[in-house]
Amino acid sequence: MSLRTTLGERLAYGAGNVPGTIVTAGAGFLMFFFTDVAALPAAAVGSFILAVKVWDACWDLWVGRWVDRHRGRHGQCRPFLFAGALLFPLAMSAVFWLPPVGAAGRLVWAVASYAALQMVFSVIMIPYQSLPVLQSDDEADRAQLAGSQALWTFVTVMVVNGATMALVGVLGQGDAVQGFWRTMSAWGLLGGVALLTATSLARERIAAAARAPRPLVPDLRTLLAHRSWQSLGAVKLLFTVGLSVQLGTAIYYAGTVMGSPALIGPLMLANALGLVAGVPLSLALLRRACPKRLSTAAFAGAAVASLGFLLVDPARLPLVLVLNGAVGLMLGMSLPAFGPSIPNMVDHVELESGERLMGLSVATLNFAEKRSEEHTSELQSQSTISYAVFCLKKK
């Protein structure tokens, strides 16, 4: 008999992705804060972000291995999520706080706080994305969990990107430093509460078997040599790169091809509405369709719709908006259908090797995806900022 989650668990699981989405959606605002508000040198900011990302790759593997080895009365993943819910508001508040010190001190604080935020991000996201392996063994149920996650993600991106600059103005009352700190502290608190709620309602039904500790290299060798990991890694990389390119080019398509930066907002909105609408449509189709076939069809549909921009006259705004919404719809449909892939892959590796490497699987697969998501959300945030600045100058 399959082990399935309840409706409340599925809704709560999606809410658990709110803090991770806040981090990725706030990436562009963070760069703007470092360079334009905190007045840190752009070259120094780029250098320390690169250094933190190199460290983050090693940290991800350590967290994934830690999750795989952990056994406790509160579960295998939930203790990490509880800790992350408490640390996340503090990390978000710290990275947007400007200490009253000189330029060198502000740079040191920026490096330390940004590294801490990325470490907390990994402590949250790796066990969070591993959790479906322990919650359910039913493919359709895992698709429902992925659908809930996708829906909460899209809504959070729209809210954070759409409201942040307005909140900075209202809460800062002309002081951008205080405005950013108060706004991002509020987003951090919201993310912590959402994750705490999701973790409290989650149940780990599938207990992990006790295993003797092994060195990291044999576990990595077992995982990376497995065909299912290789196939899934290639698909995830292609998908996230494609999503980044599709969302990022909206900036240049509106400004250069259509000749109006003011159309960045409508183009992004059309795409976002399509993403949100695609999730429930995918979940309805999954009642009868095979997840693998549906995700393949959705990926292909997004590619075909994207190629349509080569044939559409940029002056025909309604058609351009419909086409951009269609791309979002296809991408939104693909996520719930693709959602069970990681838990299924973990099960497959365990069946053949006897090793449940869920944390390590998520850590290795998410490395390229996390970088692409950060780039995508940074472009979205920059689009929002550019659109707001354009409108202000126009006035």
pLDDT tens across 185-213, in order?
Answer: 999 999 999 999 999 998 988 876 666 66
Q: Put residue 75 in one of left, alpha, beta given phi > 0 → left and psi -120 to 50 → alpha.
A: left
Res. 124: pLDDT tops 90: yes
Q: Which two tokens stand for residue 193?
A: 């509460």
Q: Which of the pair, 291 or 167, is modelled with greater confidence?
A: 167
pLDDT-derived band of residue 381, with 50, 70 and 90 as boundaries? very low
- Mean pLDDT in residue range 159-171: 88
pLDDT-derived band of residue 276, with 50, 70 and 90 as boundaries? confident
The answer to whether 91 touches 120, Cβ cutoff 8 Å, is: yes
**Of 143-147, 236-240, 296-300, 380-384, which gets the smallest average pLDDT?**
380-384
At residue 380, the pLDDT reads 47
* Interval 61-79: pLDDT, tens: 889 988 888 887 788 899 9
Chain mean pLDDT for the chain = 83
pLDDT-derived band of residue 165, with 50, 70 and 90 as boundaries? confident
pLDDT-derived band of residue 242, with 50, 70 and 90 as boundaries? low
At residue 322, the pLDDT reads 92
- Mean pLDDT in residue range 342-358: 83
Q: What is the pTM of this model?
A: 0.81
Cα distances (angstroms) measured from residue 327 to each of 266, 309, 335? 14, 10, 13
Q: Which two tokens stand for residue 394?
A: 């126009």
Res. 314: pLDDT tops 90: no
Cα distances (angstroms) measured from residue 247 to each of 61, 251, 265, 299? 29, 8, 12, 15
- Mean pLDDT in residue range 259-266: 76
- Mean pLDDT in residue range 45-62: 85
pLDDT-derived band of residue 249, with 50, 70 and 90 as boundaries? low
Segment of 72-81, 116-125, 386-395 carrying the highest mean pLDDT: 116-125
pLDDT-derived band of residue 392, with 50, 70 and 90 as boundaries? very low
Res. 230: pLDDT tops 80: yes
**Of 211-220, 226-235, 346-355, 376-385, which gets the smallest average pLDDT?**
376-385
Res. 114: pLDDT tops 80: yes
pLDDT-derived band of residue 92, with 50, 70 and 90 as boundaries? very high
Res. 318: pLDDT tops 70: yes
Cα 383 from Cα 265, distance rounded (Å) = 7
Q: In the Cβ-directed half-sphere of 339, how many Cα atoms lie within 13 Å? A: 32
CB atoms within 10 A of CB 178: 15
